[in-house]
Amino acid sequence: MKPIRLLLLLAALLAVSALVACGDDDDDAGDDASPSATTNATETLAPPDEMTFMAGFKPQANLPFVGAYVAQEQGFFAEENLSVDIQHVVTPGDNFRLLGTGDIQFSTADATALLEKWTGDPVIEVVSLALIGQTGQQGFAVLADSDIQTPADWAGKTAGYKGSDVTPDYLAILEANGLTRDDIEDVRVGFEPQILTEGAVDIFPVFIANEPDTLERLGYATRLFTAADYGAPTLGLSYVTTAEYARDNPEITERFTRAVLRGIEWADANRDAAIDIVLQYAPEEDPEHQRYMLDTELAMAKAGDVYPELGIGGQTLEQWQALHDFLITHNGLPQEIADTSAVFTDAFRAFSEAE
């Protein structure tokens, strides 16, 4: 091809990429609305602040999701002059990524995942606004008719793990029962319950509020083991935002936290109605299973000594530090977090004491 034609082709390519780039400008305009709007939102007549809350993988009765669904449907968001778009994670890590890029403002996160983000590359400063799950979500299920009575019986068996490696919870259970990783064959598994029911593994990782009930409904009773049974200081789901956003938008953060916590309170008092609301977001789900999930998670929200003092969503430095140290000793974090108090804040739910 003659040089002049090559130049023209390159110029065309440049022009096309410039056009594509310009197309992105429209998206940016939307993000600026929230920060700049806070300075104006002092009067109740101001237009509602727009934001996105990202719940987890699929709509279901996880307690933080429920709080948001209820806040939406019962008008708690509207009363706080908030216009909230509720979305759900599509690919794992979406919520952290989008928090990191500023495309969403609030989300939920597991406590361990939250701490991991402070030691990740790059660091994403995710902050817990309210610790809903006072104890960890992870459990390990065995079929009720198996001969495994205690984790000591795990020796010589096959245990599954999800994600990229076994979890600190798993290692803690082993440690507490005098086992090492070599005593058990661990394999990476998917989410299909057949893996347990067909005997591909003996010990299957589950969410405490979820699979045991599902398996039961399929006709398979299970026994459950958790790290908390053996004294591990595990924690569950939180409402989260980024440190930067909370710093730049304290009022909005407070209003949001208030609304979702009200949602949880309301769900606690009106369980059937709460399930009806969940089903609006998840019409394909089984109402009884959703109710099981809700009940279990409410119980987990009220577990421990923090709840009686601080109510639902309360959190202390001791809790977070204990989890942090636990993760460090069980290979859950690549390095220590210098200032653990930075990962959470109670500043935005202090109001909930004033009933």
Per CB under 8 A, residues contacting another protein are: 17, 21, 24, 91-93, 96-97, 100-101, 116, 120-122, 124, 163-165, 187-190, 192, 194-195, 198, 200
In the complex, the smallest distance separating the C-beta of residue 20 from another protein, rounded to whole angstroms, is 9
Output phi, psi for 283, to 5 deg. Answer: -65, -20
For another protein, the closer of residues 192 and 353 by Cβ is 192
Pairing outcome for strands 222-225 and 138-143? antiparallel
Angle at 168 between CA 163 and CA 169, to 5 degrees: 95
Tokens 């929230």 correspond to 34
For another protein, the closer of residues 75 and 93 by Cβ is 93
In the complex, the smallest distance separating the C-beta of residue 24 from another protein, rounded to whole angstroms, is 7
CB under 8 Å to 77, separation ≥6 — which residues? Answer: 71, 83, 84, 256, 259
Burial of 177 (0-12, 13-18, 19+ CB in 10 A): middle
Q: Examine residue 308 and say whether the peptide bond preceding it is cis (omega within 30 degrees of 0).
A: no
Q: Say if residues 214 and 293 touch (Cβ distance below 8 Å).
A: no
In the complex, the smallest distance separating the C-beta of residue 254 from another protein, rounded to whole angstroms, is 27
Tokens 């109670």 correspond to 346
For another protein, the closer of residues 17 and 150 by Cβ is 17
In the complex, the smallest distance separating the C-beta of residue 22 from another protein, rounded to whole angstroms, is 11
In the complex, the smallest distance separating the C-beta of residue 90 from another protein, rounded to whole angstroms, is 12
In the complex, the smallest distance separating the C-beta of residue 275 from another protein, rounded to whole angstroms, is 30
For another protein, the closer of residues 191 and 351 by Cβ is 191
Tokens 């793990």 correspond to 161
For another protein, the closer of residues 96 and 281 by Cβ is 96
Rounded-to-5 percentages of helix, strand, coil across the chain: 50, 15, 35
For another protein, the closer of residues 165 and 288 by Cβ is 165
Angle at 121 between CA 118 and CA 125, to 5 degrees: 30
Nearest residue to 302 via CA among 137, 136, 134, 139: 134
Query: CB count, 10 Å around CB of 327?
Result: 25
In the complex, the smallest distance separating the C-beta of residue 333 from another protein, rounded to whole angstroms, is 12
Query: CB count, 10 Å around CB of 57?
Result: 14
Pairing outcome for strands 158-161 and 126-131? unpaired
In the complex, the smallest distance separating the C-beta of residue 313 from another protein, rounded to whole angstroms, is 26
For another protein, the closer of residues 14 and 46 by Cβ is 14
In the complex, the smallest distance separating the C-beta of residue 317 from another protein, rounded to whole angstroms, is 26
For another protein, the closer of residues 96 and 140 by Cβ is 96
For another protein, the closer of residues 95 and 319 by Cβ is 95
d(CA 136, CA 112): 9
d(CA 229, CA 224): 10
